[in-house]
A and B are shown apart, each in its own frame.
Chain A
Amino acid sequence: MSKEKFIILESTCIPLPVENVDTDQIIPARFLTATTRQGFGENLFRDWRYLKDGISVNNTFILNNPSFSGKILVTGKNFGCGSSREHAVWAIYDYGFRVVISSFFADIFMNNAINNGLLPVRIPEQNLQNLIHLVQKDPQTNVRVNLEAQTLEIPATGEIIGFEINRFKKECLINGFNDIDYLINARNKIVEYEAKKGLTA
């Protein structure tokens, strides 16, 4: 997937204060039959967006609330747990999100996100709760994500929250590089390793 370079993003947010959101909720298994990466956004949070009949729109769900929009999803801890399906990240990205903010992410989701140019931002639980309340109260609240500086700025309150990211991964995101490019370029080292270990190809 060709990735957009990521440096600074400023946007309003969509709050989803649910904990342990698993990838089965993000994209239910019955929508995994595609053989391409496109079009998953349509089924993002499918069973929460629609009522039990599967057709009527669930007006109480945040994505169906016209007051909220933006490229940043703010959500409860342990986001993206469960299945390793990368389709979850494709769905979130395809829907239009570029950043997910939570107090912690499941490991595989985190890797999948970065590999697709979606930035997972981990902030302390208290900051997260404050941000959720702020956004719920005023859907126009802007958040500025500065990957270079590794900060999240909330102009309305003047708050600046730092976040951690692996330096290598950060550079990949900023430059729009993929791990796969790196690995393909490292093939000589890989062949050397195989020879050293006596591994047959």
Chain B
Amino acid sequence: MKAKTLFDKIWDDHVVYSIEDGPDILYIDQHYIHEVTSPQAFNGLEERGIPVFRPSRTLATADHNIPTKDQHLPIKDELSRLQVEKLTENCRKHNIRLFGLNHPDNGIVHVIGPELGFTKPGMTIVCGDSHTSTHGAFGTIAFGIGTSEVEMVLASQCLLQTKPMTMRITVNGDLNKGVTSKDIIMYIIAKLSSGGATGYFVEYCGNTIEKLSMEARMTICNMSIEMGARGGLIAPDNITFEYLKEHSKKVKQSDWESTVQQWKNLKSDAGVKFKREISITASEIKPMITFGTNPGMAIPVDGFIPGSGEMDDKGGDASFIKSLDYMGFKPGEQISGHTVDYVFLGSCTNGRIEDFRAFASIVKGRQKAPGITALLVPGSKKVEEQVKKEGLLKILNNAGFELRQPGCSSCLAMNEDKIPAGKYAVSTSNRNFEGRQGPGARTLLASPLTAAAAAITGKITNPVELMNN
């Protein structure tokens, strides 16, 4: 039999029918929805007068526009409140399970899917949110879709898709001190540029990746989209199975062994050819930070902003200068030491328990810098609970921080958690586009460790400096 990539194995297994000279009808095992990109899809079904085809394969949460304070009170912004109400109504009408606001399992869609054991190896998963790629950490084909496609999945549990090309990124070796999986993926994106993987689905391999926890792997797959890739995935292994054993309520204990045996086949065959191969040495990676307005514009925290012309393939000169102007930076200057106003810990990239542990490890026994406003937003209710249970909340409080309630929050600033115009925010989220965190906001993407270092010093700081003592 012809050698196949993991991606091809899962894809081929989900093809209902291949249209000649056209796309495949791809079956979707798990569909996640949220309040912002679903209402028009439900409207579409209603206009056609058809029901949801397989309601048990869709799960809903409210996360994008909800406040992260006083969640028990009615949402103040009227349009946001209506959107959340609409979701509740649609779920009730169509018999869809909803982990809505104030539900004990509520949280960001890409945090709760794995946490509640719904995301499982070998699945096809979609959601009207580009960071659906997160779920690829479990060896799934997971990708973001638009609202018309949400409607298609609701109507038929399928999508018409053209098979993307496959790329393998191999990372080998030991990581330097202070380097997290966020730095790995930021390094990769900077290397490939923000459009460098367009048209591809990426498999991440190598012994560096194999050693990472599920949380860390999710961070990597999450940001695949930031280099244009449709998604990213990692073959499941014992670390995956351990995580699933703990989180999956749906696999019966008696079936566990045989299920794991099946999952073990989910890997790329030896000798299989990928359309593109990239190989990275882990020791080259340093703690990273972005300086511009797309995630490809990243440098080591202890590095220098490139001069114009040095970044040709990452945006032409005009775009590069426009970007630096927006950020208030000059070509060639050192980035560390720049004043920071806000710190955001959270999002589906870095809002999991490990991220709070990392943040707490730096701030422990120290004090928040006076000029810093910090937004610490857990990715889910479960993460929030765990932060309290492990005593991390105490550490955060003692250092002068408060914890907010779960949601997407400042990642896309649809709620009140906006960064004011002109202010600098070191954020653990995934996008530093103009205005992403509020009109005029200046975002510097980084890991939870680097965010913590900025929160303590009030400046862009290499976290390694705070790790030595």
Q: Which residues of A contact B (CB under 8 A)?
A: 1, 17-20, 22, 24-25, 28-30, 32-37, 47, 52, 54, 76-78, 81-87, 89, 104, 106-108, 111-112, 115-116, 166-169, 178-180, 182-184, 186-187, 189-190, 193-194, 197, 200-201
Contact = CB atoms under 8 A, between A and B. Distances in A.
Interface stretch (B16-24, B94-102, B276-284, B380-388): B16-24
Given A25-B434, A47-B439, A112-B146, A78 B194 contact: yes
Given A33-B79, A33-B414, A169-B22, 7 more contacts: A19-B315, A22-B433, A24-B412, A86-B147, A111-B149, A116-B148, A179-B149
B160 interface: yes
A28 B158 contact: no
Given A86-B146, A111-B149, A116-B148, A35 B83 contact: yes
Nearest to B229: A107
Interface stretch (B32-40, B339-347, B370-378): B32-40
A98 to B, nearest CB: 17
B130 A82 contact: yes
Question: 9 tightest A-B contacts by CB?
Answer: A168-B22, A33-B79, A86-B146, A112-B146, A78-B195, A35-B39, A84-B144, A183-B156, A115-B148
B54 interface: yes
A33 B431 contact: no
B65 interface: yes
B198 A107 contact: yes
16 contacts: A17-B318, A19-B316, A20-B195, A25-B434, A29-B413, A29-B436, A37-B43, A77-B195, A81-B195, A106-B195, A106-B198, A112-B146, A168-B160, A179-B152, A183-B25, A187-B53
Contact of B294 (A17, A81, A168): A81
Nearest to A185: B156
B162 interface: yes
B463 interface: no
B285 interface: no
B212 interface: no
B117 interface: no
Contacts of B198: 78, 104, 106-107
A164 to B, nearest CB: 12
B22 A112 contact: no
Contacts of A47: 434-435, 439-440
B132 to A, nearest CB: 8
Contacts of A52: 421, 439-440
Interface string B382-421: 0000000000000000000000000000001110000001
A56 to B, nearest CB: 13
B141 to A, nearest CB: 14
B193 to A, nearest CB: 8
B413 A18 contact: no
Contact of A111 (B65, B146, B194, B412): B146
Contacts of A25: 433-435
Most buried by B among A86, A167, A169: A86
A104 B80 CA distance: 34
A200 to B, nearest CB: 8
Interface in B55-86: 56, 64-65, 77, 79-80, 82-83, 86
Most buried by A among B36, B143, B147, B440: B147
Nearest to B200: A107
Contacts of A115: 146, 148-149
Nearest to B38: A35
Contacts of A190: 16, 25, 27, 53, 156-158
Contact of A107 (B160, B228, B439): B228
Contact of A24 (B16, B319, B431): B431
B311 to A, nearest CB: 11
A37 B319 CA distance: 31
Interface in B199-216: 199
Contact of B77 (A33, A87, A116): A33
B230 interface: yes
B160 A179 contact: yes
Given A47-B439, A77-B195, A108-B145, A33 B80 contact: yes
Contacts of A168: 19, 21-23, 160
Given A19-B319, A108-B130, A111-B149, A183 B414 contact: no
Interface string B110-126: 00000000000000000
A1 B44 CA distance: 8
Contact of B322 (A18, A33, A112, A186): A18
Contacts of A54: 439
Contact of B25 (A32, A180, A186): A186
A194 B162 CA distance: 21
A193 B130 contact: no
A101 to B, nearest CB: 16
A166 B162 CA distance: 9
Interface in B1-54: 16-17, 19, 21-23, 25, 27, 36-37, 39-40, 43-44, 48, 50, 53-54
Contacts of B305: none
A111 B38 CA distance: 17
A31 B446 CA distance: 27
A93 to B, nearest CB: 12
Given A81-B194, A86-B148, A24 B433 contact: yes
B148 A179 contact: yes
Nearest to B15: A193
A26 to B, nearest CB: 10
Given A32-B414, A82-B431, A84-B129, A76 B294 contact: no
A30 B414 contact: yes
B74 to A, nearest CB: 15
A18 B325 CA distance: 14
B151 interface: yes
B164 interface: yes
Contacts of B159: 179, 183
B156 A187 contact: yes
